[in-house]
Structure 1
Amino acid sequence: MKNILTISGSARTGSANRQLLEHLPVLFPELDFHLYEIAELPLFVDDAERTVIPEPVEEWRRSIQKAQAVIISTPEYVHNIPAILKNALEWVYATGEMAGKKILPIVFTPKPPRGDKAMQSLLFTLTALEAQVVASLQLYQEDWNDQNRKTDAEEMIRAAIDLL
């Protein structure tokens, strides 16, 4: 069973991005999804003299290493990815856990055209991390039905997940 780490770019309770990620095991019961709580990570400070890495950061790095692939679903805040997501990604820049890792970035926003700039920013960051982006999806909350599933995108999501 493929082990997939999922990351919500929003720490907000009831976040649509979190709901989307929590719905993936329903759509894909054959896969093993693990949602990581990036809100637990301390603020990244690039300190070359740091001798002790905080335990939440060590756990974050181990979670990425153990995963066969990563799915990131994020909203767009102020034409960018949320600071909490950028913070999490900065913790793995110098140590390389994302290098070569298969990644599916998803930007999930209320309606078009929102999300373009967040996706661009996320792709720039994933390139800097040397991640292997297999596909990228922009999904919109207004297109989901009462079961919190996008009626016309399930096949797109399935095709993208098959690339992981």
Structure 2
Amino acid sequence: MKILGIAASASKSSSNYYLLKAIEDLLSSPDEMQVIEGLEDFELFSPLRLEKGVPNNIQAFKQQVLAVDLILIATPEYTHNIPAVLKNMLEWCTASGEFAQKAVLPITFTPHEPRGKYAMISLLGSLQTMKAKMETQLPLYKTDVHILDHQMELPEDIREIIETAIDLYR
């Protein structure tokens, strides 16, 4: 199974990125998952921009989406919503349909409960509009993991939850 992890934060090397890297380490096959960051490098979506053509980095991203079996989107919550960079990425893919029937595991990764609830609602709404297939969702919290020097250690119970969620898509 080929998995694409999308760190949906506005900052490079965010805790969402390190969460996805920890999930990548958890999986049995080292080439099973690729984690990307850098959504802030995407040009701002505009229907008028489409008339000029899709920028190369966005075309490459769309090809990555099409080439995998499962997408993990790990997002923080900004002002009770998903980050603008994630919304922008989704807008680039809405009309062209890369997420249609694509298996997606939405993950919110926020400091503590109850944060993440509104971001999840927003993300689910967008993914449902795009006709993505979602079997479950994961609200995770920084209080549930150990972070040291940009490395994340997932406790056994969190590892089991993540593995069970991914297994739903196998």
* Same-fold status (TM-score > 0.5): yes
- Aligned to 1:77, the other structure's residue is in SS state coil
Name the amino acid aligned to 2:158. Answer: A
Name the residue aligned to 1:98: 99
Structure 1 position 76 matched with structure 2 position 69: no
Q: Aligned residue pairs: how many?
A: 163
Q: C-alpha distance in 2, partners of 1:5/1:108?
A: 17
Question: 2:11 maps to which residue?
Answer: 12
Alpha-carbon distance in 1 for matches of 2:155, 2:120:
19
Residue 14 of structure 1, CA deviation: 3.6
Q: Which letter maps to 1:27?
A: L
Structure-2-length-normalised TM-score: 0.90
Distance 2:40 2:49 in 1: 23
Distance 1:52 1:72 in 2: 26
State the Cα deviation string for residues 56-81 of structure 1 (Å, max 9, x = none).
11111111111111000000000000
- In structure 2, the residue corresponding to 1:80 is in which secondary structure? coil
Match of 1:33 in 2: 33
**How far, CA to CA, are the matches of 1:16 and 1:95 in structure 2?**
30
Partner SS state of residue 146, structure 2: coil
Identity %: 38
- Letter of the 1:60 partner, please give it: F
1:143–1:151 CA contact under 8 A, matched in 2: no
RMSD (Å) for aligned C-alpha atoms? 1.6
Task: Give the gaps of 5 or more residues in structure 2.
Answer: none
Structure with the bigger percentage of helix: 2
Aligned to 1:108: 109
Give the letter aligned to residue 124 of structure 1.
G
